[in-house]
Structures are given as structure tokens and as C-alpha cells.
Amino acid sequence: MTSEPHWFKSSYSNNGGVCVEVAINLAAPHGIVPVRDSKVQSGPVLTVPATAFSSFVAGVKAGTFRSA
């Protein structure tokens, strides 16, 4: 990766410790969205294709996924 990720949490995060962070600044230039656990910032990063991440967000907004 030539660009550094700029991590952020959703504004809907309540800081309860069960958050993920994403770096959408890499979507346009690299076609990926890195995702990581906000509690383990030095831990592993899941790299998701930007199109798949967009589909996931659209599904969440549409209520496609049930909560556990």
C-alpha cells in the first residue's frame, strides 16, 4: 500500500469496546477498505474489496442482517 490508512469508527459507536475501525480513504485509490478491531490496533487487518464493503453497508442500512 502506498497510502497510509486513516482509521475511524462510526459515529453510531457508543464506545462500549465492541467497535471496528475502517479506513475508507483507500477505497478510491486502491479499491480496498481495511477493517480492524478498535481494541487491538496493532493486530490483524482485514482488507475488503471496496465494492463488497459498499454492498455490506447497503445491506446493513436496508436491514438485511438480523442482530444476534
What is the pLDDT averaged over residues 22-37? Answer: 95
Length of the chain: 68
**Cα(30)–Cα(24) distance, integer angstroms:** 10
The pTM of this model reads 0.80
Q: Return the HEC string of 9-67.
A: CCCCCCCCCCCEEECHHHHHHHCEEEEEECCCCCCCCEEEEHHHHHHHHHHHHHCCCCC
pLDDT tens by residue, 37-52: 988 989 999 999 999 9
Extents of the domains making up the chain: 20-62
Please say if the pLDDT value at position 65 is more than 60: yes
2 pLDDT band (50/70/90 cuts)? low
